[in-house]
Amino acid sequence: MGTIVLDPVTRIEGHLRIDTRVESGAVTEAWSRGEMFRGFEVFLSGRDPFDAPVITQRICGVCPVSHAVAACRAVESALDISVPRNGQLLRSLVLGANYLQSHVLHFYQLSALDFVNVAALLEYDGSDPVLRELKAWAQGEVSSGKILPAAPFLPQMTGQYSADPKWNLAALSHYVEALEVRQEAHQMAALFGGKMPHTAALIPGGVTTGVEPEAVEDCRTRLRRVRRFIENVYLGDVLAAARLFPEYGAVGGGVRRFLSYGVFEEGDRDWLPSGVVEAGKLSPLDTRRISEQVASSKYAGSGGQHPLQGETRPEPHKSGAYSWLKAPRYGGAAYEVGPLARMVVAAAAGHPQVTATLNGFLADTGLEQQVLFSVLGRHAARALEALLVAQRMETWLERLEVGAASVGTYTPRPGGDGEGLTEAPRGALGHWTQVRDGKIARYQAVVPSTWNFSPRGDRSDPGPVETALLGTPVDEQGQGLEVARVVRSFDPCIACAVH
């Protein structure tokens, strides 16, 4: 029996350590350890509730829009503020643009290098400008920054990578193109959000930028470029990875329980629905069943608390605790959240676009539905969702009304309790607040990676990633590349997850 430790896990957001116990070439136990404490909930106390969207966006530079939306919804719920239709559509457009940049970032800049053999390209004879730049960079020359920005391509972890030089070179070229596509998506978000990465226009009650015809057309033009990249490059690269590494269609299954809060406001409902799926059966979401457990977390307290009553009291030397992440549970059980969860919930609910896209993908590839519950399935779900969101953003642009209000009226109220639910690119995001005498009395944020990377709960049950790692075949003499592939398929955002 041996161990493999990844510390720190690189190419993620935040500080994460993964410990595994290995026996007979497979992982038999795993521990997910969030390695820092931030405490946003603590310093939100006593602030004006309208500060919440501004402050909570600083939880993350990758998915700030989701925090702005969740905070706005929490304050709106607490203070009974309505959002006009234009405000809802503008929020969905800004959030949708953030989804697109985040999904593209995850595959190309964070995960693809687990599969691309960059080192082999140094021996490959070709005239591609990206290849020339890579070789110059590897030889110690300063990158021009015009073709291949300086990036941590080498050294790579030891392990089995693709032996196909054409795939390796294409994926590296697409890495560069993806940076430009992400910039387009950021600019789309800034058109209506005021700026990025932290928006200035999303407030409780709506979006202050309003609807200008020039901005609408600018967004539509940029969206079409991003959509072409998703259709012509991103989806193809995910399928190519699936063909080159078919074994990862049977690795990383996880808890097989899925939860979604619903996302993208469209009138009185969200375009992607809420719900929970267990054993293939869909049930309505009941947020009263959510608790945050801390038996293995470095926080004071005992027993699971609903976030509206939750506390954030750090206890760094707590006996038996090994992570700065709490352990969210739904009905006492661990649930996976994220793009795969959203697709599973939406398909179970009979969502027409999601069902058609998933069925078409499976038919075109000849893959079994079970492949979705794997490392490759998570990558595929993320790419398919990017396509679906890009398509739906066209509809939201068409529904905007020039000259109509985008911010609702507000009648001051001294207090109330609020719940703000949405979906970040990485999964279910909830903000809960209590407002008393015009100030925040309590605030709790439960984010996607807190769900997915949670430590063991009160019943010593492992979290979703800890479960997904069980049974993963590994090279016991290696550095843990196989473990890293499973972990990164969840797109960790640990700066969000720690409190």
Q: What SS3 class is residue 77?
A: helix
- Grouping H, G, I as helix, E, B as strand and the rest as coil, residue 31 is strand
d(CA 395, CA 4): 48
Query: Which residue's entry shows tokens 């998933």?
Result: 358
What is the DSSP secondary-structure string of 333-354?
B--B-SHHHHHHHHHHTT-HHH
Distance CA 45, CA 66 (A): 21
Residue 392 a catalytic site member: no
> Any catalytic annotation for residue 66?
no
Q: Catalytic one among 13, 76, 265, 423?
A: 13
Question: Active site includes 278?
Answer: no
- Is position 260 annotated as part of the catalytic site? no
Mean pLDDT of 305-319: 94
- The reply to whether 178 falls in a domain is yes
Residue of 77, 274, 292, 493 marked active site: 493
Give catalytic status of residue 426 as yes or no.
Answer: yes
Cα separation, 362 vs 356, whole angstroms: 10
pLDDT over 70 at 151, yes or no: no
Decide if 219 is catalytic. Answer: no
Mean pLDDT of the chain: 94
Radius of gyration of the chain (CA): 22
Count of structural domains, the chain? 1
Report helix angle 375-399 to 213-229, nearest 10. 160
**Between residues 151 and 429, the one the model is more confident about:** 429
pTM of the model: 0.96
Return d(Cα 95, Cα 207) in angstroms, integer.
12
Inside any domain, residue 471:
yes
Strands 202-203 and 16-23, by their bridges, are unpaired
Instruction: Give the CATH number, domain containing residue 439.
Output: 1.10.645.10
Q: How far apart are CA 287 and CA 41, in angstroms?
A: 20
Q: What is the DSSP letter of 288?
A: G
Q: Which pLDDT does position 139 carry in this prediction? A: 74
Catalytic-labelled residue, pool 111, 323, 374, 449: 449
Mind listing the pLDDT tens digit for each residue in 185-223?
A: 999 999 999 999 999 999 999 999 999 999 999 999 999
Asked if 394 is an active-site residue, the reply is no
Domain assignment present for 412: no
| Residue appearing with tokens 């259709």 | 231
d(CA 457, CA 333): 9
Looking at the domain assignment, is residue 277 inside a domain? yes
B/e letters for 438-455, b = 16+ CB within 10 Å, e = fewer, are eebebbbbbbbbbbbbbb
Query: pLDDT per residue over 406-440, tens digit each?
Result: 999 999 899 999 999 999 999 999 999 999 999 99
Indicate which residue of 33, 60, 291, 385 is catalytic.
60
Domain range for residue 197? 2-147+156-405+417-497
Quick one: how far is CA 187 from the chain centroid? 20
pLDDT, one tens digit per residue, over 393-406 is 999 999 999 999 99
pLDDT band for 152, please (50, 70, 90 cuts).
Answer: low
d(CA 376, CA 248): 6
- Looking at the predicted structure, is the pLDDT value of residue 147 above 70? no
